[in-house]
Amino acid sequence: MFSPYGATKHYGEAIKEELEKRGAIVRGYDERPSQNSITKIVIRLFKKRIPQIFDRYISRVIAENKEGQFDYILICRGEAFTPLTIQHLRKAFPTAKVLLYFWDILRCADVRFNIPHADRAMSFDPQDAEQNDGLEFRPTFFVNDYLEVKDNPENKNDVCFIGTLHSNRHKIIKRIEKSFTDQGFKFYKYLYIPSPLVYIKDSIVKFPYISLSQVHFNPISVKDTVKVLNETKAIFDVNYTAQKSLSTRAYEAMAARRKYITTNPEVKTYDFYNPNNIAVVDLNKIELSRKFIETPFEAVPEDILYHYSVAGLIDNLFEGI
């Protein structure tokens, strides 16, 4: 199994744990040879022209497992993978089925050329699934930690935002925070930036930027996120521009039994949409009713909640294959 080992490592770990719970023996590997910035840049720029760069890493993985065989090779996200890499894995493990699961939009991590080389390929983005033959739609999921959030939050924060600063999010967060505080809501934020170098670059390119005192260079852990949610009534989420798919925050809010506030109107098309639990805000006129925040969260049917859990994801990935 290959999955990201960076800020989103816990998603891969949750999948691995669920598979092991079902009796599988799982070998887990990073989807990249390294998480450092140089490796990421090289892969993004040169993987198509020089696929051997990443294939050396795969050769090491194969060598570590030369005595065994696998039933499945699961690749989550897999930005560095190429058809050459998948062919190499198939040759080494000829009985294994290859499964791809994309949780980035293809406009950001274009790996569509790998789809024909997999036995099953799934994406969290409905638009990508619709526009690419052989790609099935499967939303992302919540990890089980969010089920442990307390039913009755302590009255400390009305709304929280926890996320990575990218694109124009800094401008949006400033506007959202001002709007919410002007309306009398208590707003908590945890803004993550991958490194000081990224902060310096963005401070120059996106001037005026967010002050250094308001950012963190370490991603918040799931455990600490749960602590914040124990003191918070609602989760605020900002989607990528023109992205139809939902982030994991939508499902985490559902599992944590917290109100969900988003800029993405596509949430209204999902089976768990409930206007008493979910508010879609217009960035041009940010308004939120006190009634929405104060009224209790309405329970989501168990079958719907299960579908968006890691167990539900595993069912879909491996069903009938």
Write the Ramachandran bin of 7: left for phi over 0, alpha for psi from -120 to 50, otherwise beta. alpha
DSSP per-residue letters across 71-134:
SEEEEES-TT--HHHHHHHHHHSTTPEEEEEE-S-TTTS--GGGGGGSSEEEES-HHHHHHSTT
Tell me how far apart the alpha carbons of residues 46 and 313 are, in angstroms, rounded to a whole number. 32
Token pair for 276: 């008493």
Classify residue 147 by its DSSP letter.
Answer: G
Check pLDDT > 60 for residue 275: yes
Of 105, 138, 171, the residue at which a domain comes to its end is 138
Same domain, 157 and 301: yes
Domain total for the chain?
Answer: 2
Check pLDDT > 90 for residue 67: no
* pLDDT tens sequence across 82-137: 998 999 999 999 999 999 999 999 988 889 999 999 999 999 999 999 999 999 99
Token pair for 169: 């999010």
Give the sheet arrangement for strand 2-3, strand by strand. 29-30, 2-3, 72-76, 97-102, 120-123, 135-137
Tell me how far apart the alpha carbons of residues 82 and 242 are, in angstroms, rounded to a whole number. 27
Check pLDDT > 90 for residue 143: yes
Check pLDDT > 90 for residue 55: no
* pLDDT tens sequence across 286-304: 889 999 999 999 999 999 9
Residue with tokens 């526009």: 131
Same domain, 133 and 25: yes
- Are 139 and 189 in contact by the 8 Å Cβ rule? The answer is no
Task: Please report which helix (H) or strand (E) contains residue 29, including its range.
Answer: strand 29-30
DSSP per-residue letters across 273-320:
--TTTEEE-BTTB----HHHHHSPPPPPPHHHHHHTBHHHHHHHHHTT
Tell me how far apart the alpha carbons of residues 90 and 15 are, in angstroms, rounded to a whole number. 22
Check pLDDT > 70 for residue 228: yes
Same domain, 60 and 108: yes
Write the Ramachandran bin of 109: left for phi over 0, alpha for psi from -120 to 50, otherwise beta. beta
Residue with tokens 């968006």: 308
Task: Please report which helix (H) or strand (E) contains residue 135, including its range.
Answer: strand 135-137
Tell me how far apart the alpha carbons of residues 106 and 125 are, in angstroms, rounded to a whole number. 9
Q: Round the average pLDDT of the chain to a whole number and report it.
A: 92
Please name every residue paired with 192 in a beta bridge, in sequence order, or none if there are none: 164, 216
Assess if residue 316 is contained within a domain. no
User: What pLDDT does residue 304 have?
Assistant: 98
Assess if residue 289 is contained within a domain. yes
Range of the domain at 86: 2-138
Assess if residue 277 is contained within a domain. yes
Same domain, 74 and 217: no
Same domain, 22 and 118: yes
Please name every residue paired with 51 in a beta bridge, in sequence order, or none if there are none: none
Assess if residue 321 is contained within a domain. no
Classify residue 142 by its DSSP letter.
Answer: B
* pLDDT tens sequence across 10-24: 999 999 999 999 999
Assess if residue 72 is contained within a domain. yes
Same domain, 170 and 301: yes
User: What pLDDT does residue 45 have?
Assistant: 60
Token pair for 248: 């994991």
Assess if residue 220 is contained within a domain. yes
Assess if residue 161 is contained within a domain. yes
Of 78, 103, 138, the residue at which a domain comes to its end is 138
Of 138, 156, 176, the residue at which a domain comes to its end is 138
Which of the four pLDDT bands, split at 50, 70 and 90, describes residue 242?
A: low
Same domain, 89 and 199: no
* pLDDT cut 70: percent of the chain above it: 93
- Are 42 and 53 in contact by the 8 Å Cβ rule? The answer is yes
Same domain, 151 and 212: yes
Same domain, 80 and 111: yes
Assess if residue 60 is contained within a domain. yes
Same domain, 191 and 264: yes
Same domain, 170 and 285: yes
Check pLDDT > 70 for residue 77: yes
* pLDDT tens sequence across 168-210: 889 999 999 999 999 999 999 999 998 899 999 999 999 899 9
Check pLDDT > 90 for residue 166: no
Task: Please report which helix (H) or strand (E) contains residue 20, including its range.
Answer: helix 9-21
User: What pLDDT does residue 284 have?
Assistant: 83
Same domain, 70 and 189: no
CATH of the domain at 258: 3.40.50
